[in-house]
Amino acid sequence: MQLSEQEIRRRHEREELEKLGINPYPSELFEINAYAKEIKENYSPEQNNYQEVALAGRLMSRRIMGKASFAELMDSSGRIQIYVSRDDIAPGENKDLYNTVFKKMLDIGDFIGIKGYVFITQVGEISVHVTALKLLSKSLKPLPIVKEVVDEQGNKTTYDALTDPEFRYRQRYVDLVVNPEVRATFVKRTQLTNSMRNYLNGRGYLEVETPILQPLYGGAAARPFKTHHNTLDMTLYLRIANELYLKRLIVGGFDGVYEFSKDFRNEGMSRFHNPEFTQMELYVAYKDYYWMMDLVEEMVEKIALDLHGTTQVQVGEHTIDFKRPWQRFTMFEAIEHFTKIDISAMEEPQLRETAASLNIHLNPNLGKGKIIDEIFGEMCEPHLIQPTFITDYPVEMSPLAKKHRTKEGLVERFEAICNGKEICNAFSELNDPIDQRARFEEQLELGKRGDTEAMVLDEDFLRALEYGMPPTAGLGIGIDRLSMIMTNSKSIQDVLFFPQMKPEKTEDQSEE
């Protein structure tokens, strides 16, 4: 292992600390009673509060000035200035804690615990006067140094910012330390799921868990990841969706069930796609897709208000407004609106000609439904910035949705599109077992034609439907995509703590 000069020096400091009888990684509990943000928001010189505080965090900067120094401590809530005096932390004859340890053996990134009292410096900065200091964990690898300079008008200028995506995504732990706005993004993501969970719980729906390892994959059109169970000697698949298991629970008598699920799809990666992703699926008995559209509008509007205090969210150059009601198009209306072509009565040969006239290149294995989906994706989706419902899809595109009650050849399905991408998908669920079997068989034929994303036939699911499933509305909403919008993030990798990446090159590989 090649070590830098700083890494070698820090390892030497670690050894010297041990020689002084100081454990660089002590086990004892350090009791915290305050946080940086809380102190800065609530300290009052008149009340003289926070006179006995204990904080812990990383040392992020130091200004050594002889017998006293200023430094900056960063805890989970933010940063605060600390004042360290030799005579306070190392009284009497033993000056090693300040002269040797603090000045010479502590580094940026080390974890320390401090005790002291809060005061305001002559330049008006809220700070902690340290009366006791303890090393809690020695950092052996230097952090990238990011500097912020604030001018007299309060404008911030950042120098040496950590912006390299390869580094940030691969070493997210460093990204979180030096870029506080990244931590804020993930806090908002958790607030989003909490808001959604509170909304669904408030309606009385039951949160459940269903299998991730499945003997048959289903519930979506996607390629699965495949594995093998040694004891059972059987092939298993990582789920691509949890739809079919949740519907089994509706058959079993639950009126409303939902799950925040990790799903896995063995397909391409982009700034909108990661092989492992999160979605929330909801199924409610005795409802239809019109009812589910109203629920989505209400729930997402609530999420925006909970996160931002307004229905308007800035996403790049667009201000997106989630206030109800949202615009609605049927799929054929949307295609005609953006292309001036009515494809509603076209069969596969005409659809291929139309796609070619629009410069859309198609895989020859695609069936009618996938061709329509390609036309919509290329010609319509990028233009739908404000939240919009696209409804009434061709039956070939939706093997799990109920046939439309009045429109031949269509199903009762909608997608919500926002900022040019799908954020949710919903149906009036197909509960006719005979029709469902026929749809599965059609999917098998598409698979024989080479469609690698065609669904498989699930006999146990069909058996469940034969026992009877009530009319049901179902919804899948992409948590990662919605998080991108609600946090103004350009890439799905920005809202995943640890996105999937290519293997890291070693130094030997780099030299080849």
Sequence ranges of the binding site:
415, 422
Where are the alpha helices (H) located in 214-330, listed in sequence order?
243-251, 289-308
Where are the alpha helices (H) located in 214-311, listed in sequence order?
243-251, 289-308
Phi, then psi, of 181 in degrees rounded to 5: -70, -25
Q: Kindly report the number of other CB atoms within 10 A of residue 136's CB atom.
A: 18
Phi, then psi, of 27 in degrees rounded to 5: -95, -20
Question: In the block, which residue shows the tokens 């030299």?
Answer: 511
Tokens of 383: 């233009």
Contact 481, 263 (CB under 8 A): no
Annotated binding site for Mg(2+): 415, 422
> What is the DSSP code (8-state) at residue 100?
I
Rounded to whole angstroms, the Cα distance separating 221 from 363 reads 16
Q: Kindly report the number of other CB atoms within 10 A of residue 157's CB atom.
A: 9
7 contacts: CB under 8 Å, gap ≥ 6:
140, 141, 142
Which residues are 173's β-sheet partners?
A: none
Rounded to whole angstroms, the Cα distance separating 292 from 194 reads 20
Question: 3-state SS string over 454-469?
Answer: CCCCCHHHHHHHHHCC
